[in-house]
Chains A and B, each alone.
Chain A
């Protein structure tokens, strides 16, 4: 059982960190969040061993939303130079900042729906499971979130046809 948990942490923690980063907008908060969720999973590992991934996603979403609520709807404050990388004005950094800024403006559940659907590439049904809502709610959340995300990203991203939009 312990090996199974250890394997899960080793294989999935980076993926969970990426989700957490987009949910919180802040590297340190994301690390905190992932560690909290994994510790929580450690306590319950015997009961959730058959579905750790789903449990982790749901816990991340809930905890990220709770943090948001507790902070009185204040977005996590980025820590500037202590974030992922020092600003080097590369395209990746510009895109990263634009993505974080755009996600920050989305309501937490809309943000979570977009992240799980497009970063994790989860089917709608699994996103619904993580958000504890219906599939139709997921679809509408993703749709609204994408509209806002596209508007924010168009100026800074290169599209698949090679054009700078």
Chain B
């Protein structure tokens, strides 16, 4: 078999493929959405210092030109109970210089806050001027780096560093402690509020109750003790004052570090397992997918890749369109939704995404049972069979299906595993 034969085989395998005629329109529309979303996400990572509350002024130009530019964090006196601890401040500046290395900066790092944290560590918020430069992809102007420095028994280190931007501003919160059980929020003037955990409305949308933070006890910083959160961060933060992008979300400065520490974070967003039983295109104009903006935890944080979710769409025997889908949240609970004959999803409850048969929904009016099989830890699709009462086992083509209403039991087999029989509801 020659190289030409291989080429021919690959061409044969793909020769019938054509892109949809409206692809360009979709791409343009999707691209525009991404531009908007990117701006929003950027805004979420940072927090605007409220008008003039902590803003100083910086001279534009690489050598310090003439245009005054807002430079929050840089020009107010140091606050915190360790603001006069010269030895600590010196160690903070040294750690900061080590961290930023050869980056082009101006003058000395400024310590905006230095103090003791409830978990026993010492924390500092540092900022430093740098020649103004445009930062892509936001196109905003950066006036220099800023970040958090932590000292504990293991030593002193920079735990976050980011740009101070002209429209948005740096993330003012960090999660501290060996067990991620201390939340620290620096008062940036946006009147940040705190929520211990998400809850759900009757429709399955995420709800949070926010309470004010007391920034007086620690001279401009609030500490909140939280439950240990090795892989989940249940807390949420929201600012009363929207940032320059109109966003009330509050960035977590060391989120990337927390993600890396779990070893389980892809941070590419949730992945969705889609099975279409109705033969319509995946991007059908009238789709039944949840609008994630309504069902996501807007003010929470993720540090591990969420469990795979399901979207099983089809048509019932009596001709109604249905969709069964799952949706995860920052608290790791997975909601199960059914949309049937309308565009409105109904919350059925919660499911265990790791269960052998993660989805089992009996449709009303004898329209059948929707099932979808999780694949455990094997990484391969599960094989399904079903039966009616004590009848013969019948094969299922995929790992998700609409079974006849008479089905009473499903058998799930993951690769290398023993069959598991699950009675249907």
Contact = CB atoms under 8 A, between A and B. Distances in A.
Contact of A119 (B4, B7, B137, B308): B7
Nearest to A18: B14
A77 B6 contact: no
Determine the interface band of chain B, counting residues with CB < 8 A from chain A: 35 or more
A160 B27 contact: no
Contacts of A18: 14, 17
Interface string B27-64: 11011111100100000000000000000000000000
A84 B13 CA distance: 10
B35 to A, nearest CB: 6
B15 A92 contact: yes
Contacts of A150: 1, 6
Contacts, number: 155
7 contacts: A13-B24, A17-B19, A38-B23, A42-B30, A81-B279, A82-B276, A91-B12
Nearest to B381: A77
A153 B266 contact: no
Interface residues of A, number: 62
B7 A118 contact: yes
Chain A interface SS verdict (over half)? helix
Given A27-B17, A32-B282, A79 B275 contact: yes
Nearest to B37: A43
B397 interface: yes
Interface in B179-230: none
B9 interface: yes
B2 interface: yes
Contact of A99 (B10, B24, B32, B268): B10
A43 B38 contact: yes
Contact of A160 (B4, B13, B276, B283): B4
B5 A43 contact: no
Contacts of B375: 72, 74
Contacts of B274: 28
A42 B27 contact: yes
Given A10-B24, A39-B30, 18 more contacts: A6-B24, A28-B274, A32-B282, A35-B23, A35-B30, A38-B23, A42-B28, A42-B30, A43-B31, A43-B34, A66-B266, A74-B380, A77-B275, A99-B13, A119-B10, A150-B6, A160-B2, A165-B1
B319 interface: no
Nearest to A165: B1
A144 interface: no
B344 to A, nearest CB: 25
B26 interface: yes
B399 interface: yes
Contacts of A159: 1-2, 5
Contacts of B35: 43
A96 interface: yes
A95 B31 CA distance: 36
Contacts of B14: 17-18, 21-22, 96, 119
A72 B305 CA distance: 11
